[in-house]
Amino acid sequence: MIADKPDITSLRIDRSDAGTAPPRRVPWKYIIPLAVLALLIPGFFALRGALSAAVDVETAIATLTSPSQANSVLAANGYVVAQRKAAVASKGTGRLVYLGVEEGDKVRKGEIIARLDDQDMVAALAKARADLGIARADSFGTRNTLERTRKLFASNLASQADLDAAESQYLKVRANIVSARAAVEQADVAMEYTRIRAPFDGTVLTKDADVGEIVAPFASSANSRGAVVSMADMGSLQVEADVSESNITRVSVGQPCEITLDAYPDVRYRGTVHKIVPTADRAKATVMTKVAFSRLDERVLPDMSAKVAFLGGELSDSAASAPAKLTVPSTAITGRDGKQVVFTIREGIATETAVSTGERLGTQTVVTGGLAQGETVVNRPPATLSGGAKVKTK
């Protein structure tokens, strides 16, 4: 007989205590070193970056240099200034009724630039001429009276008093003629004040008044204009450059110069020192030097910025006309792995750049390849400097 099997259907697995085993804890001896390491790693990289950025260097710019600039003993900055310039105005006061020029127009000496309202002057001149005519008519009558009186006096038919009275009247009329003629001349001068003429041959620079405005000497009214136009003699343009007091001994009258305008950096003008102004600017510690152009063209305009290179001697025509070449200071070129290189700086990082070089121009060396105008290079690079290093300018 088979024994009865036990009933297992009522059996259940008790899962209420599952996962209640105590968690494993990390010992403190591991937590503290990990925290210290987490703090040291960023500090290490920050310190490394700071140390790598602490290279002080001297910089220079790759510029275009001409053979004449290589012969330069001194350089100075200045401005083109017209030595003959005028604000053209009228001595009289009146309303501007005519303006015949505008900016850039060329005018001749004595040419009428503008005209003021002259109706009152026309009337005054007409009256002065009429008074002169009356005085001349009176002169004709008194002259005849004087001649008759003299004949009568010679015939004892007129007294000495009659003769004296006739002569006095004649002289008075003659004086009236002189006065009337002076009044006519005065009216002519007043009329001329209404005609504004060019004082010399030149070019109109600015127009300072318009038709309908009141023109008055010294602009005595807030609503009046003192000058009608400003003009300059373009043939009198010179560069006024400020030379440091410590370098003025390198400059002499007649010294050859080369002038470069900031507006046309590729064009060079020959010039000479025209005058050294015998006074110094105590605020800037400079002496003004005026440099005259040997030849001017229409591109040279007043108030343009200019650079002047004072040369050590005369230049040949070939050297003066030779094109400018890209140069860097000779001390900026160094050798690395048998190559000539310069270190260019871009966003504070030094980059090693191989270059090909040409002849030397004074303290500069011509760069024929590998470099562009205006790039910043390291001058006198340290022997330990390498590409990728962080640099900052001294």
306 and 237 in a common domain: yes
Residue 21 has what pLDDT?
52
Residue 33 falls inside a structural domain: no
The residue among 232, 260, 279 that closes a domain is: 232
279 and 343 in a common domain: no
Residue 101 has what pLDDT?
92
Residue 344 falls inside a structural domain: yes
126 and 104 in a common domain: no
203 and 111 in a common domain: yes
Residue 24 falls inside a structural domain: no
Is residue 1's pLDDT more than 50? no
275 and 331 in a common domain: no
Residue 334 has what pLDDT?
92
264 and 166 in a common domain: no
pLDDT digit string (tens) for 257-299? 999 999 998 888 999 999 999 999 999 999 999 999 999 999 9
Residue 31 has what pLDDT?
64
184 and 295 in a common domain: no
Domains: count for the chain: 4
242 and 298 in a common domain: yes
The residue among 314, 336, 370 that closes a domain is: 314
Please count the other Cβ atoms lying within 10 Å of the Cβ belonging to residue 157.
10
Residue 3 falls inside a structural domain: no
**Residue range 305-314: average pLDDT?**
86
Residue 303 falls inside a structural domain: yes
pTM of the shown model: 0.62
DSSP string across 263-275: TEEEEEEEEEEEE
Kindly list the distances between the CA atom of residue 44 and the CA atoms of 32, 35, 38, 55, in Å, as whole numbers in the listed order.
18, 15, 10, 19
221 and 105 in a common domain: yes
pLDDT digit string (tens) for 35-84? 666 666 666 555 555 555 558 889 999 888 777 766 778 889 999 999 99
User: Of 207, 198, 186, 226, nearest to 91 (Cα)?
Assistant: 226
225 and 170 in a common domain: no
Pairwise pLDDT comparison (319 vs 104), residue with the higher score: 104
d(Cα 254, Cα 68) in Å, to the nearest integer? 16
pLDDT digit string (tens) for 203-261? 999 998 889 888 887 655 556 677 899 999 999 999 999 999 999 999 999 999 999 99
DSSP 390: B
Residue 84 has what pLDDT?
94
CATH assignment of the domain containing 214: 2.40.50.100
| Cβ partners under 8 Å of residue 319, min gap 6 | 67, 68, 71
Max Cα–Cα distance, the chain, nearest Å: 213
Two structure tokens written together for 361: 């121009």
Residue 210 falls inside a structural domain: yes
CATH assignment of the domain containing 295: 2.40.30.170
**Residue range 162-180: average pLDDT?**
87
Q: At 2, is the pLDDT very low, low, confident or very high (cuts 50, 70, 90)?
A: very low
pLDDT digit string (tens) for 333-387? 999 888 999 999 988 888 999 999 988 877 888 999 989 988 999 999 988 888 8
d(Cα 52, Cα 253) in Å, to the nearest integer? 52
Residue 177 falls inside a structural domain: yes
The whole domain housing 208 covers 88-116+195-232
The residue among 314, 334, 366 that closes a domain is: 314
d(Cα 49, Cα 44) in Å, to the nearest integer? 9
101 and 77 in a common domain: no
332 and 303 in a common domain: no
CATH assignment of the domain containing 361: 2.40.420.20
CATH assignment of the domain containing 144: 1.10.287.470
**Residue range 8-35: average pLDDT?**
58
